[in-house]
């Protein structure tokens, strides 16, 4: 009976060790996948931050420029899509 109990205990110890190892492996893989996703998100947020900083610099530059005729024409063309009467606009459907 003593040998039978040792075999049972040994079996349960091995089973517990195997379950623990599988749990650890699953946890490591899950953490690695989450880490990779967070790294991608971090890179995306850094790109967005750079884009926003460039936009802020452009807007600050626009605010610091004097309001003269060139500024009014540029804003009318960019924001309102207006053109001067002597300008000829060509449309090309080949470029998308």
Q: What pLDDT does 3 receive?
A: 65
Position 9 in a domain = yes
The residues, any chain, with a CB within 8 Å of residue 77's CB and separated by 6 or more, are 83
Query: Residue 91: inside a domain, yes or no?
Result: no
Structural domain boundaries enclosing 26 = 2-66
Instruction: Determine contact, residues 34/41, Cβ cutoff 8 Å.
Output: no
Q: Residue 31: what pLDDT? A: 98
15 is a domain residue: yes
Low-confidence ranges of the chain (pLDDT < 70): 1-3, 95-96
Residue 82 included in any domain: no
Q: How far apart are CA 75 and CA 81, in angstroms?
A: 9
pTM: 0.56
| Under 8 Å between Cβ of 74 and 62 | no
How much is the pLDDT for 85? 85
């Amino acid at each position: 009976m003593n040998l039978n109990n040792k075999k049972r205990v040994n079996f349960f110890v091995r089973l517990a060790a195997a379950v623990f190892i599988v749990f650890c492996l699953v946890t490591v893989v899950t953490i690695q996948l989450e880490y990779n996703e967070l790294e991608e998100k971090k890179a995306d947020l850094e790109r967005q931050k750079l884009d926003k900083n460039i936009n802020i610099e452009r807007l600050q530059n626009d605010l610091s420029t004097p309001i003269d005729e060139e500024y009014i024409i540029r804003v009318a063309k960019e924001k309102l899509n207006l053109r001067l009467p002597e300008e000829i606009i060509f449309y090309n459907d080949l470029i998308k």
